[in-house]
Structure 1
Amino acid sequence: MVTTPVDRLRPGDHACLTYTDQDERLDILAAFVSAGRDRGDRVMCFTDAVSADDLRADLVQRGLAAGSDVSVQPSDRLWDDGAVEAPTAAAMVELLARELQRARADGYHGLRITADMCWAARPQANAEQLLVFESEVGKLFADGRLTAICEYDRESFDPVTLGYAARVHRRTVAATVYHEDPVLRICRQHVPPGVRVAGELDYTRAGVLSDALAEAVRLDQDVHVNLNQLRFLDAGAATVILRTAANLPSGRRMVVVCAEPVERTLTVAGAADVPGLRMLVRDRER
């Protein structure tokens, strides 16, 4: 199985996403949805871990306005149009085959599916149906019109099931990671484009932070720095962020999303003196 950045998935790919970080999961899903829209696909997102309304709101927050080409539904719609019934692989594969035909009839280039597989961890679910589904659904990808990501929360599934999921998917999707150690993770954010940082960040890792930000400056018009999951930021690392924002070419800006303690550190380090910097502090803006 090949690990592929989400923006490099090709039509007809059947990919697996295993995750523990909800922000990373949402970012990958948003990038998948955005790419489908750009290509002229119809997109269906089946969600279990969070409600359909919450997932719609998350996509909108990432700049993906609702539209007829994107459908977000609870995962039980996969097998019985929302009726209270145990999931069966046959019903799920049949529904996806119908939706693929409908997308073609409606003039879409193809169909993109994201499926939250947490339904299989429910008490009433038959775990064997998950294994059958992943095996049987592969037949729908033959003509390249169906592209899908099956999502597995590592905290909901045992290692044997996760290992099986890895084997039956041709590809796995994951974020591009710039740095990872026991206390810090820095990776690429796709939507909106930029960098996501989680854990604790101090001056000793200023170099890897600077390298990640430099790539974002090279790739993106505006640089979005997601610090929502950052627990600690020291003055040395804050200076790297502010220096990058201050050196952006005219007309470009940096948008930092963070919690109040991180905002305070950036403010003390001189954020107010950087005209190209905008800070979003959880539910309020500065």
Structure 2
Amino acid sequence: MVTAMTSSVSVDDLSPGDHACLTYSDAEERLDIVAAFVRDGLGAGQKVVCFTDQAGMTDLASELAQREVRAPRRGQLTVRDNERSWIGSGRASAAGMIDVLAGELAMADQQGYAGLRVTADMCWATQPVAAVDELLVFESKVAGLFTGGRLTAICQYDRQSFDQVTLAFAAKAHPRAVAAAVYYEDPLLRICRQHVPPGIRLAGEIDYQRLPELNHALAEALRLGGDIHVNLVHLRFLDAAAAAAIGRAAAGLPPGRSMVVTGPRLVAKMFALVGASELPAVRVRVVHGRP
């Protein structure tokens, strides 16, 4: 039976036994949520298995390493090939997919882990040898594996790869939905929380008119503690007022905390112009290849 989906939650709010859906269009946002999910599972002593397409296996492992997500125990984190895991040499079936997860869960128990976390990119279901109808049956019938609280999973659906009917069914089939914490969004600017490394991420264009929203996001990051990472890699325009606001937030950090700002050359130039790059607590990292 498919039940109505609850409201979206942050990845930090997931509990053992949750079966969640992540529909995404921003690849970096997806990676951030997946990295946080993996990090939290490793920290809780759970085994973590990430299913992705073969071409993305190395990329996903690299992205997790760049975000300093590492397993404290050898074999605790594995990245698996979607096609080999779900389809094999034949055609995917709901029963076969459930058996794969049940086997992973039993193995995690035998190895002494506190539970199993699984994150799966579901784009494999769009291949000709796959069957979207079997995927839908799987999402409906897999609930039994979650009842003991030993399995926690996020199923990832790319909005560009699935039709609206399938996306709507996937949303209803999952008791939980995961989404980024968005502080502000309009056609020109998006400000959201970044989980790994912790901080905020901006994309688009920002000027003095959006200082209240920027200051609110920075205040939330300050409240969480630790160093703050301000990701401006996908920012096309930044004015002096916005750069100065970020600098003021860094200047107000207590001793021992710092701010890392990552972005294109235009960000470094604007920070230098307003003097923010000279602050002791600020480190500016330039992403080469961007204007």
TM-score bin (small chain): over 0.9
The aligned residue for residue 74 of structure 1 is 81
Q: Residues of 2 paired with 1:128 and 1:75: CA distance?
A: 17
After alignment, is 99-108 or 262-271 more displaced? 262-271
Q: Deviations over 1:227-276 (max 9, x none)?
A: 11211111111111111112211111001111222222222222332111
Runs of 4 or more consecutive aligned structure 1 residues displaced over 4 Å after TM superposition: none
Q: 3-state DSSP class of the match of 2:154?
A: strand
1:232 has 2:237 as partner = yes
Q: 3-state DSSP class of the match of 1:51?
A: helix
Q: Residues of 2 paired with 1:138 and 1:281: CA distance?
A: 45
After alignment, is 208-217 or 42-51 more displaced? 42-51
CA separation of 1:161 and 1:33: change in aligned 2, threshold 3 A? same
Conserved? CA contact 2:22–2:154, under 8 Å: yes
Shift of 1:119: 0.6
Q: Residues of 2 paired with 1:96 and 1:218: CA distance?
A: 38
Which letter maps to 2:22? Answer: L
Shift of 1:84: 4.4
Conserved? CA contact 2:49–2:118, under 8 Å: yes
Shift of 1:120: 1.1
Matches within 5 A, 1:100-249: 100-249=105-254
Q: 3-state DSSP class of the match of 1:230?
A: strand
The aligned residue for residue 272 of structure 1 is 277
Conserved? CA contact 1:194–1:220, under 8 Å: no
Q: Residues of 2 paired with 1:132 and 1:42: CA distance?
A: 26
Conserved? CA contact 1:45–1:73, under 8 Å: yes
Identity of aligned residues (%): 55
Shift of 1:283: 5.3
1:53 has 2:58 as partner = yes
Shift of 1:50: 5.4
Which letter maps to 1:125? Answer: A
Conserved? CA contact 1:112–1:146, under 8 Å: yes
Q: Residues of 2 paired with 1:277 and 1:49: CA distance?
A: 39
Conserved? CA contact 2:184–2:190, under 8 Å: yes
Q: Residues of 2 paired with 1:85 and 1:234: CA distance?
A: 56
Q: Residues of 1 paired with 2:32 and 2:168: CA distance?
A: 23
Conserved? CA contact 1:87–1:125, under 8 Å: yes
Q: Residues of 2 paired with 1:240 and 1:84: CA distance?
A: 56
CA separation of 1:50 and 1:283: change in aligned 2, threshold 3 A? farther
Shift of 1:88: 2.3
**What is the aligned counterpart of 1:37 among 30, 42, 54?**
42
Shift of 1:36: 0.5
1:255 has 2:254 as partner = no
Q: 3-state DSSP class of the match of 2:70?
A: coil
TM-score, normalised on structure 1?
Answer: 0.94
**Structure 1 alignment gaps of length 5 or more:** none
TM-score, normalised on structure 2?
Answer: 0.93
After alignment, is 86-95 or 275-284 more displaced? 275-284
Which letter maps to 2:138? Answer: F
The aligned residue for residue 26 of structure 2 is 21
Shift of 1:223: 0.6
Q: Residues of 2 paired with 1:85 and 1:271: CA distance?
A: 58
Q: Residues of 1 paired with 2:265 and 2:98: CA distance?
A: 46
Q: 3-state DSSP class of the match of 2:217?
A: helix
Which letter maps to 1:248? Answer: L
Tell me the C-alpha RMSD between the 2 structures.
1.6
CA separation of 1:230 and 1:85: change in aligned 2, threshold 3 A? farther
Shift of 1:161: 0.5
